Amino acid sequence: MKISLRNFRSSLAFTILAGVYILCGCSFGSTANIDAGMKAIAESDYETAIASFDKAEKNGEDSQLLWRGKGIASMGLSDYPEAIKDLKKALSFSDGRVTSLEYDICQYLAVAQYKSGDKKGAVETYTSILSLEPKNSDALYLRGKTYLGLGETDAAIDDFNAAVKFDAKNPDLYINIYESLSDAGFAEQGDTYLKSAMELTELSEFQKGKLYFWRKEYENARDSFESAGKSDASPDIILYLGRTYEALGDISYAASMYKDYLKKNPGDVSICNQLGVCEMTNGDYKEALAAFEQGIAVNDNEIMQSLKYNQIVAYEYLSDFKKASVLMEAYLKDYPDDEKAKREYTFLSTR
C-alpha cells in the first residue's frame, strides 16, 4: 500500500484563493453577498459560501462574479461537474470583451475539468487562454501537465520548454516541471530542468534547498533549509526541512519538528499530513490516524484527497477493514478517477 506524499497543491499548482478576490471594475452595484461568499471561501466554509451566492442571485448582484464564486465553492466541495457548470455559466455573462476576469474564470474551469477527468476539455481551455496570452508560462506549464496525463509526452515537453523560455528565472517553475515528469515516470528528463535551475543566479536559500532536495542532495538541502529557517519560520520551510530529515533517515526528528509546529499552528493541513506519514513509517498507526484526522477536521480542500486516502491506509494497518471499506466507498464518490483507490477498494471488499 503506497502512501501518497504529494500535496494537492503541488500536483495541480493550484490553490483556492485566500481572501476576497473581486476584480475592480467588474460591477457597479452592490456585491455584499458575493463578498460574504468569497470571505466564506477564504475560511473553507463552502456550504455557507454557496448560500451567500444564492442570496446574491436573488438580490440581482453581479451574475458573472456570483457564478464564478459558486464555481470556486463547488471546487472546494470537490464537486467538479457542478463547478464546471457554474464556471461556464459565469463565462456566459461576458459582454464579449476578454478581460482579466474571463481569463481568471478560464483558469478555474481548466482545473475543474482536469480534476473531473476531462483532460481533453482542460487542454482546450488552456489552449483558449494561450490563444490570447501565448507567453503565459502558468498556462503553458499546466497544459503540459495535462498533456502528460493524456500520454502525449512530446506535446508536454514542448509546453514545458516554452514555459521556461518565457519565465526562465523562476526556479519554482523548473521544480514543478520536474515533479510532473517524475510522477509520470520521466524523472531523468525532469532532472535536466533541475540542472538548468541550479545555474540561475539570485536564488534564495529556500529555493536552493528545494533544488537540492529534488536532486536528492539531502545534506545540502538540509543546510540550505536550516539557513533559510533562521529568518523565516514559514510552514513550507518546516515541511521541506522535515521531509529532508525523513530522506536522511531521521524520521523521529522530522516528526518532532512537525509536532512542535502544530502546537502553535494546529490547522496546517500539510504538516498534519506529513506528520501522519512519519508516524506511519514509524509504525505508530494510531498516532498517524490522529494526525490525518486532525487535518481532515480543518476541512481545507487543499490536500483533502491525500489526507482521506492516508486515513484509509491507517485504518487498514490497524486491521479495521470494515471502517476502511466504508471510507473508501465514500472516497471514490469524491474522487472517482483514482485508479489506485479502485484497486484498493477491490482488496478491501475481499477482507
Q: Is residue 310 included in any domain, yes or no?
A: yes
Q: At 9, which helix (H) or strand (E)?
A: helix 8-12
Q: Is residue 91 included in any domain, yes or no?
A: yes
Q: Is residue 87 included in any domain, yes or no?
A: yes
Domain boundary among 117, 140, 173: 117
pLDDT at 20: 36
Phi, psi values for residue 208, rounded to 5°: -60, -45
Domain boundary among 82, 117, 152: 117
Separation CA 66–CA 177 (nearest Å): 34
Query: Which of 38-47, 146-155, 172-181, 296-305 is the least confident region?
Result: 296-305
Is pLDDT of 28 > 60? Answer: no
Domain boundary among 117, 142, 169: 117
pLDDT at 100: 86
Q: Which tens digits make up the pLDDT trace of 70-123?
A: 999 999 888 899 999 999 999 999 877 778 899 899 999 999 999 888 999 999
Identify residue 212 by its one-letter amino acid code: Y
What's the structural domain count of the chain?
Answer: 2
Is pLDDT of 149 > 70? Answer: yes
Locate 144 and state its grid cell: 503540459
Separation CA 57–CA 236 (nearest Å): 38
Q: Using CB atoms within 10 A of its CB, is residue 345 exposed (0-12), middle (13-18) or buried (19+)? A: middle
What DSSP string runs through 186-251? -HHHHHHHHHHHHT-SS--HHHHHHHHHHTT-HHHHHHHHHHHHTT---HHHHHHHHHHHHHTT-H
Instruction: Give residue 71's Cα distance to chain centre.
Output: 17
Q: Is residue 215 included in any domain, yes or no?
A: no
What is the number of other CB atoms lying within 10 angstroms of the CB of residue 131? 9
Is pLDDT of 5 > 50? Answer: no
Q: At 26, which helix (H) or strand (E)?
A: none
Q: Is residue 235 included in any domain, yes or no?
A: no
CATH classification of the domain holding 77 = 1.25.40.10
Separation CA 177–CA 144 (nearest Å): 9
- pLDDT interval class at 339 (50, 70, 90): confident
Q: Is residue 277 included in any domain, yes or no?
A: yes
Q: Is residue 86 included in any domain, yes or no?
A: yes
Full residue range of the structural domain in which residue 328 is found: 250-351
CA nearest to 160, candidates 149, 182, 145: 145
Looking at the chain, the whole-number percentage of residues with pLDDT higher than 70 is 91
On whether the pTM is more than 0.85, the answer is no
pLDDT at 350: 75
Q: Is residue 28 included in any domain, yes or no?
A: yes
Is pLDDT of 196 > 90? Answer: yes
